[in-house]
Structure 1
Amino acid sequence: MEKIAINFFKFLKNPQEKFNKTLSLKQKWNILFSILLLDFILVTIASGITSIIDTYLFELKSEPIEDLFSNKPAYLILILAALIVPLIEEFIFRLFLNYDRNFVFQFIDAFTNNKAKIFWDKHFKKIFYIAALLFGLMHLSNFSNTNTLFYILAPFIILPQLIGGVTLGYIRLKLGFFWGVLMHGLYNLIVFSVLLLFLNTTLLTKKNTPDYILEINKLELGLNKPIELEIYKTETTIDSIIGNNTTVKEVANLLNLTDTVLLKKTKRINIRFINKTDLNTPESIISTELKKHFK
């Protein structure tokens, strides 16, 4: 792997379209998995920067990407993440990196006496990095933030995707288009499998007092259809509130909360509130807990 990593970093200094060495199938698999591992290492480091921004500067609101994968069965999420999305993204951002598949430049060449090819060869390094940059910038659409600082720090926020852009670009040129699709699919398959199996549910609040029980879990991916949020009352007293794969906004509306931030939050949660006594302030209790985690 060390030699493969060294060759990769040498390539980054001066990206080239063509590789002369013929590779065996075993060598191709070795390169693929080595670059995939290197990608994970670099992305893990870069994600630390993103985490610092999210924790200490401002919340990165990822509602658009969550909406894409929410309320779907696990197998469909994996098909989308590991097959459909990689194929589409590789077709858009990296198929054209091989001039033989760059039909736009070839069309221009037909009328300009190969001037497009001359431009391509002269500026390929810039073209390679522009493709990686566009791939990264496209992932800004994963977030719904619109504040000025978000755009100022955008290069750091999309740093994991920029790294993916150059590693996938390298594999696409070194091994071929479908090897790039394969690496992209394997990357997403691993990430989403871990997310579904281990990180999908995060416990935010679990309280069992003499007066009430309150449990709130945050969901990264809301699997399948939501179970309708229900409130049960005895006259005007709330006895219980139960909701799976609901949203903060739906809970806030149900309780007639006036907090504008909570009324806009589309983060998915499971919530369970049980009133043990005649406690008449469950709205305040739940609101306080939601504000603690979602303000």
Structure 2
Amino acid sequence: MKETLFALIAYFKNPILKEDENTNLNYRFTLFLKIFAICVITGIIITPVFALLEALEWVNMDSHEVEKMFKGMAKWKVILTGAIIIPVIEELIFRAPITAFKKPKYFKIGFYFFALLFGFVHISNFEISTTVLLLSPILVLPQILIGFYLGYIRVRLGLQWSMLLHGCYNCFFILLSFIPEE
């Protein structure tokens, strides 16, 4: 997994439009699982920052729009919406277009643009205030990083793999949210 992490970091420094030539399904699924693990670990590592921001009363996570959207919804509907419908739509909007940039310079710009746009669009999940706007790079950091991971897997393996990764990532955290707090 360390090798995959270093490959991701190297790619983020210099993204290129080059699909992975290894089409073996076992290879692709293994790479997918490694990147999924990196995504989840990234999300878990960043989570304490949100707890701190909430403890300092700079951000109210209870007023998060995702919480409001899913409130009172049956669990199967939450999973269907959050782990299938939204990831497919977001991948079509934010990842599908990046391979249209064929020239290396434009591809790099497009890759960064769509990852950052994906992240910053998610600021709309928060109740907008001056504090939220000032903290926005921190508040959307998980989405920015996931945007880079999804962009990588989209380019290397294909759009269906980024949809699957996005859906699995969302589903993992949705299922965690179902665990009762005691």
Number of the residue aligned with 1:246: none
Match of 2:114 among 131, 134, 137: 131
Number of the residue aligned with 1:27: 27
Number of the residue aligned with 2:75: 74
Structure with bigger gyration radius: 1
Name the structure where helix makes up a greater proportion of residues.
2
Q: Calculate the TM-score normalised by the size of structure 2.
A: 0.92
Number of the residue aligned with 1:85: 86
Q: Contact between 1:43 and 1:163, CA under 8 Å: does it hold in 2?
A: no
- 1:74 corresponds to which letter in structure 2? K
Q: Calculate the TM-score normalised by the size of structure 1.
A: 0.58
**What are the superposed Cα offsets for residues 199-224 of structure 1, whole Å, 9 maximum, x if unpaired?**
4xx46xxxxxxxxxxxxxxxxxxxxx
Runs of 4+ in structure 1 off by over 3 angstroms are none
Number of the residue aligned with 1:40: 40
Q: Contact between 2:126 and 2:132, CA under 8 Å: does it hold in 1?
A: no
* Correspondences of 1:140-289 after superposition (within 5 Å): 140-146=123-129, 148-196=130-178, 198-199=179-180, 202=181
Q: Extract unaligned runs of 5+ from structure 2.
A: none
SS of residue paired to 1:98:
helix
Q: Contact between 2:8 and 2:152, CA under 8 Å: does it hold in 1?
A: yes
SS of residue paired to 2:56:
helix
Paired with 1:67 and 1:20, the residues of 2 have a C-alpha distance of 40
Name the structure where strand makes up a greater proportion of residues.
1
Higher relative contact order (CA 8 A, sep 6+): 2
- 1:83 corresponds to which letter in structure 2? I
Q: Contact between 1:5 and 1:38, CA under 8 Å: does it hold in 2?
A: yes
Paired with 1:20 and 1:134, the residues of 2 have a C-alpha distance of 25
The number of aligned residues is 181
